[in-house]
């Protein structure tokens, strides 16, 4: 998706380089683009051309809204393996979040970008949340306009500390982890994990909605979703089946007692006991 490449030669050139250098099966290949990103961010007039292009579009059509606009970012280019955006870091987040992708941040300004780098705790398995996991004290670093922050999402947590908005050009790899963890700012303990991929989040929400509607026509869809590769999607589907079709849910729970994910196995055993008890009480 390159909505501006035809109008911005520097961006078109960068997109060509990115497509050539980034290997779909090697997210770390994103780091090969540091030099190209530097040239685009600080050695070209791409940002000025982008602003002029969008202002001309608005002047000719006051109702103009680009599909590339997010609330505080503009999606410049990319595909399923990389994304390039320009926009604002507006505020610090409530929690310290892991980054389920690799990241290059070219700091535009006007001031320095303050960030704290944390290392992922050892022996963490991303797809298995551990509430006992704790971060060690991080290292604070100041990135000046013209600097590029390099973040390896496998090991590095990049926590920005914002006291005024900072413009940045952000290049990200495709998502390569299933969960994004959140750590408490004071205790540094893990507090929760959410789906890293928005599509997975939508599937969970869909399963929950179908369960809430309690219509038997959803049984086939949820049964299929109970075989999804992501364990939290599988579990959401099984839970929804329990609201719609307990008999099918019991069969899926029996299968889940040998699930490859330990959390699902434990939850399936407990859920099976609960559903079986409820069914027996209803029968009597």
What domains can you pick out in the chain, each with its CATH number? 9-196 (2.60.120.10), 199-283 (1.25.10)
Give mean pLDDT, residues 26-50.
94
Q: 34 near 105, Cβ under 8 Å?
A: no
Q: How confident is the model at residue 7 (pLDDT cuts 50, 70, 90)?
A: confident
Give mean pLDDT, residues 203-216.
92
Rounded CA separation 142/6 (Å): 35
Give mean pLDDT, residues 80-86.
93
For 60, 61, 268, the CA distances from 7, given in Å and listed in that order, are 16, 18, 54
Residue 191's pLDDT is what?
Answer: 96
Bridge partners (DSSP) of residue 143 are 113
User: Helix axis angle, 246-256 relative to 262-283, nearest 10°?
Assistant: 150
Residue 284's pLDDT is what?
Answer: 63
Residue 1's pLDDT is what?
Answer: 57
Q: What is the pTM of this model?
A: 0.82
For 19, 88, 163, 257, the CA distances from 71, given in Å and listed in that order, are 27, 10, 19, 43
């Amino acid at each position: 998706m390159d909505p501006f490449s035809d109008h911005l030669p520097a961006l078109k050139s960068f997109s060509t380089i990115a497509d050539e250098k980034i290997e779909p099966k090697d997210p770390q290949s994103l780091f090969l683009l540091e030099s190209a990103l530097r040239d685009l961010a600080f050695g070209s007039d791409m940002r000025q051309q982008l602003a002029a292009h969008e202002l001309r579009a608005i002047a000719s059509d006051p109702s103009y809204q680009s599909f590339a606009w997010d609330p505080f970012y503009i999606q410049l280019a990319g595909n399923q393996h990389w994304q390039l955006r320009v926009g604002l870091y507006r505020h610090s987040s409530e929690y310290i979040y892991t980054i389920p992708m690799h990241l290059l941040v070219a700091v535009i300004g006007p001031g320095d970008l303050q960030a704290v780098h944390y290392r992922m705790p050892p022996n963490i398995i991303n797809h298995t949340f551990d509430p006992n996991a704790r971060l060690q004290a991080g290292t604070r670093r100041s990135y000046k306009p013209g600097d590029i922050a390099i973040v390896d999402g496998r090991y590095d947590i990049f926590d920005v500390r914002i006291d005024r908005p900072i413009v940045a050009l952000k290049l990200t790899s495709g998502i390569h982890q299933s969960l994004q963890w959140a750590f408490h700012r004071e205790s540094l303990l893990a507090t929760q994990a959410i789906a890293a991929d928005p599509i997975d989040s939508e599937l969970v929400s869909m399963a929950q909605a179908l369960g809430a509607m309690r219509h038997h026509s959803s049984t086939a869809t949820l049964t299929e979703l109970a075989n999804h590769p992501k364990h939290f999607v599988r579990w959401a589907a099984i839970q929804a089946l329990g609201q719609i079709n307990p008999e099918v849910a019991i069969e899926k729970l029996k299968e889940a007692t040998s699930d490859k994910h330990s959390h699902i196995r434990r939850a399936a055993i407990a859920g099976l006991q609960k559903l079986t008890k409820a069914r027996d009480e209803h029968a009597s």
